[in-house]
Amino acid sequence: MTASRLHLVRHGEVYNPHRVLYGRLPDYHLSDDGRRMAQAAADHVAGLDRQVTALRCSPLERTQESAAPFAERFGLVPVLDERVIEPTNVFEGRRMSRALRNPLNWWHLRQPSQPSWGEAYTSIAERMLNAMDEMWDSTDSGDAVIVSHQAPIWITHLRVAGLPLRHDPRTRRCALSSVTSFERVGDVWREVEYAEPAAAGIDLGAV
C-alpha cells in the first residue's frame, strides 16, 4: 500500500518588518495572520474529508509553525526533512529593492535559467521529488502532507507538468498557505488540485 494523495503546503505569512529576503536565515516566525493562514490550510485539507496520516516539513521555523495545525488536527508528529527546505540564495538578509540597484550584485543575475543567484532549479526539483517518492512509498494509507516553501513547490509543479524550470519568480502560482495536491500512478506524478484557503497575506521575503 501507498499514500492516496500528497499535499505540498506552503507556510503562512512571516513576521518580516524589515522586508528582507530571509531564505534559510533562522528566527523568522509566522505573524499572527500567518498562524491563522496555517490553520486555514489544515482546515481546508480536513474539509476534503481526507485523513492525513503522515506529516513532514522543512526544518525552518516558519514551516514547523505552519505544520503545527496539521499535527494537532490529525494527531501527528511532524518529521523534519532537509530535502524540502528553501533553496540557498546569495541575497539572504538583504532587501531586494536595494540590492538590485547595486551594480556589484548584477553578476549574480547573469544566468537566470540556472539560477546564478542560488541553488540550481534542477537540484531543487530532484530533492523535492526524492522526498515525495519516499513519503509516498512509506505511507501505508491516507494522505501525506509536506509543508515547504514557494520555490520548491512551484518548481515541483513545473517538473511534474513537464514545463521548463526557468521562470520569472514574480509569476509563481503558490500563495501563502496554498495547497498543491498530487497523486502518483506507478512512477508518474500528476497534479490534481490547487487551492488557496487563506487567500491573503504578503510575503516580501520569499526566495
pLDDT tens digit sequence for 48-83: 998 999 999 999 999 999 999 999 999 999 999 999
At residue 176, the 3 state secondary structure works out as: coil
How far apart are the C-alpha atoms of 137 and 122, rounded to whole Å? Answer: 22
**203 in a structural domain:** no
Look up cell 497534479; give the residue: 191
Is 167 within 8 Å of 185 (Cβ atoms)? no
The enclosing domain of 63 has a CATH number of 3.40.50.1240
**206 in a structural domain:** no
**99 in a structural domain:** yes
pLDDT tens digit sequence for 17-42: 999 999 999 999 999 999 999 999 99
Neighbours of 67 (CB within 10 A): 28
How far apart are the C-alpha atoms of 142 and 1, rounded to whole Å? Answer: 10
Nearest in space to 145 (alpha carbons), one of 2, 10, 21, 15: 10
**204 in a structural domain:** no
Indicate the number of domains in the chain.
1
User: b/e per residue, 148-160, with b = 16+ CB within 10 A?
Assistant: bbbbbbbbbbbbb
User: What is the domain extent for residue 143?
Assistant: 5-195
**201 in a structural domain:** no
**202 in a structural domain:** no
How far apart are the C-alpha atoms of 130 and 146, rounded to whole Å? Answer: 12
pTM of the complete model: 0.94
